[in-house]
A and B are shown apart, each in its own frame.
Chain A
Amino acid sequence: MSRMEPAADRRPDRGENMALAATALDELVNREYRHGFVTDVESDTLARGLDEDVIRLISRKKDEPDFMLEWRLKAFRRWLTMTEPAWASVHHPPIDYQDIIYYSAPRSMKAGPASLDDVDPELLRTYEKLGVPLKEREMLAGVAVDAVFDSVSVGTTYKAKLAELGIVFCSFSEAVREHPELVRRYLGSVVPYTDNFFAALNAAVFTDGSFCYVPPGVRCPMELSTYFRINAKNTGQFERTLIIADEGAHVSYLEGCTAPMRDENQLHAAVVELIALDNARIKYSTVQNWYPGDKEGKGGIYNFVTKRGDCRGANSHISWTQVETGSAITWKYPSCILRGDNSVGEFHSVALTNNHQQADTGSKMIHIGRNTRSTIVSKGISAGRGRNAYRGLVKIAKAAEGARNFTRCDSLLLGDRCAAHTFPYIEVKNPTAKVEHEASTSRIGEDQLFYCMQRGISAEDAVSMIVNGFCKEVLKELPMEFAVEAQKLLGVSLEGSVG
């Protein structure tokens, strides 16, 4: 209550003469945040709400250079003028942006369960099915893990090895401090803060995320993943990832993990930017399994993400692979801007919605360079009352001589109350382009089910097998270990949808 008042009495000075405003600004920046900031040993948490003070505070907490703060403030002011998009085929109650905590450093240990005994048994059962090691189970469930946990050393070992090759792989905050020139050069160059409502919000308030820079000619020797970067834990609801592959560099990045993340945050508005220069190659894989809400559709994460890759150089290659099984609502369109000649964009997706989950996802392929190629393969599975929409855009600009696109989106329906939609936009301005789109929607064949069951396979296992077959084209794009887990995950997510 009290925190809004000072903001209100400050407002009249805005718009007065510039010099005065500038000193006022300085004062504000340097002033200790007066309202509701709590610091204790385990956590730093701001009071709910968002205004410029909150942004200044976030920036200061992160020890950011001035250009970052300016950028955040510009984004925030822009955000204030924007309205939340309503075109996606998802439904949710309005989000109160003043009722969100925008900064919370590593969660207080007291907030989490003390041991696995206190964790929801349903969640534990899922971990068991996925074969997640015990220690990891604790970490995922938010149980305070003691410091001897192996990952710490694992993390540092990898880091040293990567540093030898000149690869920068660190948290976003660290990158801002250690490599401001790289951040300044590339941040917002693919997804500007003006891009959309959630991207603007993210730019204003993002607290952390991953940063990766692979220097020219270097092939990253291992799959990079947030999982190995310990500080990724609880990075919060507004993450920002920036990956740059310099000329001839190759990198494969894994985001998320297969086990369900217990997280009570309601809104996740992340931004991912990929930049591939000449002959560079980036592979970005996601397995998203945020909390989907309960069987009645209560709770769950709103996952509103802007992901975009820029094939800036000739012969560059960006490939997105995603398996989306979690979140109450998923709203994301990993895209590629194929600017460089002969560049290639790929999108492989499996999106599964069960119970009351909703997903509106797809990809945009913007062909600008000559002989650019793109492939979109999207597999949607709807069960229960799930709603699943593919929404995509293939745009062939006038200059995109010889561009080629192939799009295939299939939907599988399990249950008579689910829904599946396809909204592909195709815009072609060059006659040498070849664009193909095909889509199909059907349910699991009775004959396929019967065949499996008469060989003694239970209905549930049979459905899981058939679903995995349906998704095979996408799963095979995932790195090996991920693919195995993703397969199990599909089975688990579909539980209770058959019979």
Chain B
Amino acid sequence: MNAESRDRFVAEFRRVEAALPGAKVPWVVRARSLALARFADSGLPTLRDEDWKYTSLARIEKRAFRALPSGAPGSAAPPGLAAGLAFDGLPGHVIVFVDGRHVPALSHIGGLPAGVIVGSLADALERMPERLEAFLPDDTRHTVLGALNTAFMSDGAFVYVPRGVAVAEPIHWLFIATRQDAALHPRNLLVAEEGAQATVIEQHADLGSVACLTNAVTQIFASRGSVVEHCKLQRQSPEAIHLAGIHALQGQGSRFTSHSIAVGAALARHDITATLDAEGCEAELNGLYLAEGRQHVDHHTRIDHARAGGTSREHYRGVLDGASRGVFNGRVIVHPGAQRTDAHQANHNLLLSRDAEVDTKPQLEIYADDVKCTHGATVGQLDEAQLFYLRSRGLEEAAARSLLTHAFARDVIERIRASSLRAHVERLLLARLPGGAQVREPA
């Protein structure tokens, strides 16, 4: 543990504590101080922690990130700020956060079915804390970074979908960072009541080159029979540090899908978990990470089959170029009594350069017998025979490579159900590939 960085965070907390949302709500204050104590107990994880074996947080320790004081910095944001980041032609709802604060002027919420709430968490903490109490302090994952977020949580999206209601259009949460050395702790909450349906896009992007720290947590409660799709798009600037936890708790027969598309940040770590807490749940975790230069991108996923009859599918793919490093750790736990579990996991990695590195660890822990569990992991490069085939058909080397890389990555992109996001990610991918313009998008 690095005591210096820990003390710095604790001092920052004391400095901004009074200005954090919910400062007058006793349970919020209690939750924050408990979480801070938990963080102070262990400090930031180090390489000696098994879960952080391949990812070092030394960058955070070396740098003094400042928690942003309250106030409304977002009001100063230029009106056109979010224009390029909101997806063209996307008919849904956009709620924008600049440097961790909700900016209503940039947000656009269309017509919503009765009872649906799409708004700011800070706002909800002030105006209707009683609606959040059952969900927010629930820190089931007990990660140190999760605790740090709970202590500092400033703002984020709050979405509530009442029983039986389906929100047709995707809800886009857009986080934009503009300030150097800022420590942002966005906290999002999505509650889908029984039989509700919703699709959420959580996008993190920066304006220009911003060396900031984002430590985000998203909690998803998918009640009985609900259908929730969460698409995370992480495209922060190459100097940024992005840490994120996405935790879903599933009710009976619910369906949860997570997509994590990670292309940005110097150091990115995503902890994604799904707890199949009742019978007959379905969970699908998909991910695509593209890294180049000296980027480091880490995904740790965990699927807990706590009850019988659950199904989980996991598809993660990585494309590593330059001197980048990709880390994948996929844990599937079948708890005692979780019979008839069907779990499948795959992680495939493509190394495009001499200096790129991949560390992958698919993990199965099984305590029941009537199960069907598989996992697979591969690391390799583009197939020489396929390259030769394309070259023999007159494609240039770069184009042939791009085409094959694109085909490799598409396997994950195709799983995104929100078509606007799918097209957007497709474009992001093509922009990253040398000669990508020659790989035409399918109509």
Q: Do A and B bind each other?
A: yes
Instruction: Tell me the A residues contacting B by CB distance below 8 Å.
Output: 87, 396, 411, 413-443
The answer to whether B379 touches A426 (Cβ under 8 A) is yes
Residues of B in contact, count (CB < 8 Å): 35
Q: Which residues of A contact B441 (CB under 8 A)?
A: none
- Of the candidates A396, A415, A420, A423, the one whose C-beta lies within 8 Å of that of B366 is A420
Nearest-CB residue, chain A, relative to B372 = A442
* Docked complex: B118-142 residues within 8 A CB-CB of A: none
28 contacts between A and B (CB under 8 A): A411-B364, A416-B336, A416-B370, A417-B336, A419-B367, A422-B362, A423-B361, A423-B363, A424-B363, A426-B359, A426-B361, A426-B379, A427-B359, A429-B357, A433-B379, A433-B380, A434-B380, A435-B378, A435-B379, A435-B380, A436-B376, A437-B362, A440-B373, A440-B374, A441-B372, A442-B373, A443-B370, A443-B371
Nearest-CB residue, chain A, relative to B351 = A431
- Of the candidates B351, B362, B365, the one whose C-beta lies within 8 Å of that of A428 is B351
Nearest-CB residue, chain A, relative to B327 = A427
Bound Cα distance from A432 to B375, whole angstroms: 23
* Docked complex: B366-390 residues within 8 A CB-CB of A: 366-381
- Beyond A433-B380, A435-B379, A440-B374, whether A426 also contacts B365 by CB under 8 A is no
- Beyond A426-B359, A426-B360, whether A439 also contacts B365 by CB under 8 A is no
The answer to whether A441 touches B378 (Cβ under 8 A) is no
Q: By DSSP majority rule, is chain B's interface helix, strand, loop, or mixed?
A: strand
Q: Which residues of A contact B372 (CB under 8 A)?
A: 440-442
- Beyond A411-B366, A428-B351, whether A442 also contacts B357 by CB under 8 A is no
Q: Which residues of A contact B381 (CB under 8 A)?
A: 431-432, 434
Bound Cα distance from A419 to B339, whole angstroms: 13
Bound Cα distance from A411 to B371, whole angstroms: 11
Q: Which residues of A contact B336 (CB under 8 A)?
A: 416-417
Bound Cα distance from A429 to B354, whole angstroms: 8
- Of the candidates B351, B365, B378, the one whose C-beta lies within 8 Å of that of A419 is B365
Q: Which residues of A contact B370 (CB under 8 A)?
A: 416, 443
Q: Which residues of A contact B357 (CB under 8 A)?
A: 427-429
The answer to whether A431 touches B365 (Cβ under 8 A) is no
The answer to whether A421 touches B365 (Cβ under 8 A) is yes
The answer to whether B373 touches A428 (Cβ under 8 A) is no
Taking the nearest CB of chain A, how far is it from the CB of B396, in angstroms? 20
Nearest-CB residue, chain B, relative to A405 = B379
- Of the candidates A417, A434, A441, the one whose C-beta lies within 8 Å of that of B371 is A441
- Beyond A87-B50, A415-B369, A442-B372, whether A431 also contacts B362 by CB under 8 A is no
Nearest-CB residue, chain B, relative to A408 = B376
Q: Which residues of B contact A423 (CB under 8 A)?
A: 361, 363
Q: Which residues of A contact B361 (CB under 8 A)?
A: 423-426
- With most chain A CB atoms within 10 A of its CB, the pick from B336, B361, B370 is B361
Taking the nearest CB of chain B, how far is it from the CB of A353, in angstroms? 13
B161 at the binding interface (Cβ < 8 Å): no
Q: Which residues of B contact A440 (CB under 8 A)?
A: 372-375
Bound Cα distance from A422 to B362, whole angstroms: 8
Q: Which residues of B contact A436 (CB under 8 A)?
A: 376-378, 380
Taking the nearest CB of chain B, how far is it from the CB of A282, in angstroms? 28
- Beyond A434-B379, A435-B379, A438-B376, whether A422 also contacts B371 by CB under 8 A is no
Nearest-CB residue, chain A, relative to B320 = A431
The answer to whether A425 touches B359 (Cβ under 8 A) is yes
Nearest-CB residue, chain A, relative to B380 = A434
Taking the nearest CB of chain A, how far is it from the CB of B280, in angstroms? 19
CB within 8 Å: A-B pair count: 110
Nearest-CB residue, chain A, relative to B377 = A437
B352 at the binding interface (Cβ < 8 Å): yes
Q: A421-B365, A434-B379, A434-B381 are in contact. List 9 more A-B contacts (CB 8 A).
A: A413-B368, A413-B369, A421-B364, A422-B363, A425-B359, A426-B361, A428-B359, A434-B380, A439-B374
Bound Cα distance from A423 to B330, whole angstroms: 10
The answer to whether B362 touches A439 (Cβ under 8 A) is yes
Bound Cα distance from A421 to B373, whole angstroms: 11
Bound Cα distance from A429 to B381, whole angstroms: 12
- Beyond A423-B363, A435-B380, whether A413 also contacts B375 by CB under 8 A is no
Q: Which residues of B contact A429 (CB under 8 A)?
A: 357
The answer to whether A419 touches B359 (Cβ under 8 A) is no
Taking the nearest CB of chain A, how far is it from the CB of B384, in angstroms? 10
Q: Which residues of B contact A422 (CB under 8 A)?
A: 362-365, 375
Nearest-CB residue, chain B, relative to A413 = B369
The answer to whether B375 touches A428 (Cβ under 8 A) is no
Q: Which residues of B contact A417 (CB under 8 A)?
A: 336
Bound Cα distance from A430 to B358, whole angstroms: 9
Q: Which residues of B contact A418 (CB under 8 A)?
A: 369
The answer to whether A419 touches B366 (Cβ under 8 A) is yes
B353 at the binding interface (Cβ < 8 Å): yes
Nearest-CB residue, chain A, relative to B365 = A421
Taking the nearest CB of chain A, how far is it from the CB of B129, in angstroms? 42
B20 at the binding interface (Cβ < 8 Å): no
Nearest-CB residue, chain A, relative to B53 = A425
Taking the nearest CB of chain B, how far is it from the CB of A377, in angstroms? 15
Q: Which residues of A contact B380 (CB under 8 A)?
A: 433-436
- Beyond A423-B361, A426-B379, A433-B380, whether A441 also contacts B354 by CB under 8 A is no
Taking the nearest CB of chain A, how far is it from the CB of B414, in angstroms? 23
Q: Which residues of A contact B369 (CB under 8 A)?
A: 413-416, 418, 443
B192 at the binding interface (Cβ < 8 Å): no
The answer to whether B379 touches A420 (Cβ under 8 A) is no
B356 at the binding interface (Cβ < 8 Å): yes
Taking the nearest CB of chain B, how far is it from the CB of A434, in angstroms? 5
- With most chain A CB atoms within 10 A of its CB, the pick from B339, B356, B375 is B375
Nearest-CB residue, chain A, relative to B328 = A426
Taking the nearest CB of chain B, how far is it from the CB of A403, in angstroms? 10
Q: Which residues of B contact A432 (CB under 8 A)?
A: 381
Top 8 nearest A-B pairs by Cβ distance? A431-B351, A413-B369, A441-B373, A435-B379, A438-B376, A422-B364, A440-B374, A437-B377
The answer to whether B364 touches A420 (Cβ under 8 A) is yes
Bound Cα distance from A418 to B378, whole angstroms: 29
Nearest-CB residue, chain A, relative to B357 = A429
- With most chain B CB atoms within 10 A of its CB, the pick from A87, A422, A432, A434 is A422
Bound Cα distance from A111 to B370, whole angstroms: 46
